[in-house]
């Protein structure tokens, strides 16, 4: 019996706005740190989200995970939560600057908590979340850093 191990990446998109501002910093330092992204009115992005899962190909289904289950999880847990929202208004970012780095980590953590509820994901795992903010900026998160990298 074959035990092929495959990485599957699925792409999604959503729009959200944010203002990069740390209330613990003086206004001048916020402006210096975040530049135009510190505009009090905020600004928006069309984010491209890639979710990568990995695992053995299920002999019975021929899949790593059921795409319909993965899509439903991402839709209910991520897209419905963040699409067309001001990130600053969400509880996730009440004590966290809503940078795309922090958004990427939040998305990973949300999906990781729900992962065990996907019936077809018994042997697969969440490998990575990649979040593209602009054509020049993207961020990847794979979970906690190994001890030797800290």
Print pLDDT tens along the chain (150 aa).
557 889 999 999 999 999 999 999 999 999 999 999 999 999 999 999 999 999 999 888 999 999 999 999 999 999 999 999 999 999 999 999 999 999 999 999 999 999 988 888 888 999 999 999 999 999 999 997 655 554
Domain coverage including residue 124 = 5-149
- Give residue 100's pLDDT: 97
- Residue pointed to by tokens 């695992």: 55
How many domains, in total, are found in the chain? 1
The CATH number assigned to the domain holding 31 equals 3.30.479.10
Q: Which residues contact 134 (CB under 8 A, 6 or more apart)?
A: 45
> How far apart are alpha carbons 6 and 63 in whole angstroms?
9
Burial 71-84 (b: 16+ CB within 10 A, else e): eebbeebbeebbee
pTM for the structure as a whole: 0.92
CB atoms within 10 A of CB 126: 21
């Amino acid at each position: 019996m074959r035990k092929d191990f495959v990485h599957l990446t699925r792409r999604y998109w959503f729009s959200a706005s944010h203002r990069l501002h740390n209330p613990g910093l003086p206004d001048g330092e916020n402006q210096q740190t975040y530049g135009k992204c510190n505009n009090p009115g905020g600004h928006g992005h069309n984010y491209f989200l890639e979710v990568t899962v990995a695992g053995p190909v299920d002999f019975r289904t021929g899949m790593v995970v059921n795409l319909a289950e993965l899509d439903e999880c991402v839709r209910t847990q991520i897209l419905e939560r963040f699409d067309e929202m001001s990130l600053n208004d969400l509880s996730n970012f009440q004590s966290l600057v809503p940078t795309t780095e922090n958004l990427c980590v939040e998305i990973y953590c949300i999906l990781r908590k729900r992962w065990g509820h996907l019936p077809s994901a018994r042997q697969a795992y969440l490998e990575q979340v990649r979040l593209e903010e602009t054509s020049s900026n993207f961020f990847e998160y794979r979970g906690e850093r190994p001890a030797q990298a800290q």
